[in-house]
Chains A and B, each alone.
Chain A
Amino acid sequence: MSEELVCITCPMGCRLSVDRTEGGLAVTGNRCARGIKYAEEELLAPKRMVSATARIAGVERTELDGIARLPVRTSLPYPKEGVPGLLKAIYALDVRLPVKRGAVLIADYEGSGVDVIAARSLP
């Protein structure tokens, strides 16, 4: 039975039909080669960029002109099934200020090669 998928590489939104074969995936419905690559990534090893916010050590809600949380993101897309665990790790952070944009807050999470970094600088 084939699996249905919408390619999101570009706005065309090709509707892909994918069959799992012994040699890999058989993709139809794609208008270009990127559709095949998308189907392979999405079905065999889906990944997502994760952005969230982290607690700032010792900051009350009214301080910092109302900024109570530090925005953070992954340095690279992270395997989709591990996102809930990664979010838990982000929510467990307690970031000390000052922090510079790009500062690594979690290095090489679970040996994935993906870091969690600060998305803004705060003094």
Chain B
Amino acid sequence: MKELNFDAAVIGGGAAGMAAARELDAAGFSVVIIEREERLGGILGQCIHNGFGLIEFNEELTGPEFAERMQERIEGTGIRTFTGATVMEMDARAEIKTLYCYSASLGVLRLNARAVVLAMGCRERNRGNIRIPGDRPAGVYTAGLAQRLVNIEGLVPGKNAVIIGSGDIGLIMARRMSWVGCKVHAVVEILPYPSGLTRNIVQCLNDFGIPLYLSHLTTRIIGRERVEGVEITPIENGALMHEKAFVIPCDTVLLSVGLVPENELSKGAGVELNPMTGGPMVDSMLMTNVPGVFACGNVLHVHDLVDYVAEEARRAGANVARWLKGAKPAREARLKSGPNVRYLAPSRVDLDGDNKLYLRTLIVKNGASLEVKVNNRVVKTRKLAHIQPSEMITVELGPKDLESAAGLPDPTVEVAIV
């Protein structure tokens, strides 16, 4: 078995992994990236639509362009990359962590590192996760799988599709399927408002005359060998209106019903997860409860822009470098999600440093206000023109904002939306 030693190992070679590794390399540490696919870039390779990079590169790029630009930044550095290699197990009990990897070309690899960065990204929720009743025919795909088939492998999964869920990937796929000659008959959303951006509703549905059924549930998938249709039932005042159910004939169903951080490996190593995000609980340095194991990007919480992923991962990489040199926060406070806040990442703030928090709200509102409280006293407020669950909100907190927490024995910093 081949065995190699590094200062830091990064699991996952997407936007997060590349950005974190670059920081570590720049700080003079030896770094390895382990990537399951044959090439770096992660999910970006199949996201051929534009809208990436406005913050990171100051121009609007497609996914493959963003990935290639990120990759160019790490070319010629000392970063070692293993592609086509899967981490099967992580042993993080000792000071030196060990990753056991399988690769078709190299066999079993044993990689030892003082620090590990989790950057595995997320995966799609599927039919089993949302329990759609009915037959089990061929033709039911997650939107991301269909995206890979169409955009990378050049295969169109069907001719007449219905999309379940109005997340952005589903909306983008409604346009993509229309542009490759597949008729999209409907997008069905259980909630009374769309989960995706208005921009995508306009340009991916309205442009093609695709109806969006809000407050409708898919109650049955019909078909023996291949999908023949889906039964859709309206929801009124929280109740299913079975007498108003109708069937839309189709041969393909795409599911765009949410993403979950991919943390099997983390769990196996004893990393504690946050039930609200599905990602690890992390401190102000983005370190998990397992010393030396950090997390960033979609494995930590699902971001809506890759630009935010790159920013967070850069911060994680810089923190790992500081940690390897022996730095750790002197004083931290626990973060609490207040009213209308679904989650906050990270879970703690550094009272003496500059903190950047990402949060998601539970509500849709124009003219909202964000409040930061230290032990129930408001220390900071900010106006928010428009908020909705699908748009991440950024909060910056510095030592000045948190000064009143410094003298308290076990301070709690709460972030609320009112």
Contacts and interface: CB of A to CB of B under 8 A. Distances in A.
A52 interface: yes
A48 B200 CA distance: 12
Q: Could you say which of B49, B62, B64, B201 has the most chain A C-beta atoms within 10 Å of its C-beta?
A: B64
B49 A120 contact: no
Contacts of B64: 71, 101, 119-120
B152 interface: yes
B38 interface: yes
A73 B154 contact: no
Interface stretch (B26-34, B116-124, B237-245, B384-392): B384-392
Interface string A54-93: 0100000100011111010100000010000001000000
A13 B153 contact: no
Contacts of B385: 10, 12
Contacts of B50: 49, 51, 73
Interface of A: 6, 8, 10-13, 48-49, 51-53, 55, 61, 65-69, 71, 73, 80, 87, 101, 119-121
Contacts of A49: 50, 60
A68 B150 CA distance: 10
Nearest to B200: A8
B89 interface: no
Contact of A73 (B62, B155, B207, B366): B62
Q: Could you say which of A48, A73, A119 has the most chain B C-beta atoms within 10 Å of its C-beta?
A: A119
- Secondary structure dominating the interface of B: mixed
A56 to B, nearest CB: 9
Given A73-B48, A101-B68, A120-B68, A11 B386 contact: yes
A120 B151 CA distance: 12
A53 B65 contact: no
B269 to A, nearest CB: 29
Chain B interface size, under 10 / 10 to 19 / 20 to 34 / 35 or more = 20 to 34
A87 B150 CA distance: 15
Contact of A8 (B48, B67, B203, B388): B203
B48 A119 contact: yes
B40 to A, nearest CB: 12
A66 B151 CA distance: 11
A69 B180 CA distance: 13
A80 B179 CA distance: 13
B207 A53 contact: no
B199 interface: yes
A62 to B, nearest CB: 9
B305 interface: no
Contact of A69 (B63, B154, B197, B202): B154
Top 5 closest A-B pairs, CB basis? A120-B64, A68-B154, A71-B48, A65-B38, A8-B199
B386 A120 contact: no
B152 A66 contact: yes
Interface string B58-72: 001011110110000
A8 B153 CA distance: 32
B376 interface: no
Contacts of A6: 198, 201-202
A51 B49 contact: yes
B197 A11 contact: yes
A87 B180 CA distance: 9
Nearest to B198: A13
Given A51-B49, A101-B64, 11 more contacts: A8-B199, A10-B385, A10-B386, A11-B198, A11-B386, A13-B386, A51-B62, A65-B39, A68-B154, A119-B65, A121-B68
A38 to B, nearest CB: 10
Contacts of A67: 152
A13 B201 CA distance: 11
Interface in B172-224: 179-180, 197-199, 201-203, 207
B62 A119 contact: yes
B153 A66 contact: yes
A119 B64 CA distance: 6
B151 A71 contact: yes
A120 B63 CA distance: 9
6 contacts: A51-B49, A55-B154, A71-B151, A73-B50, A119-B48, A120-B68
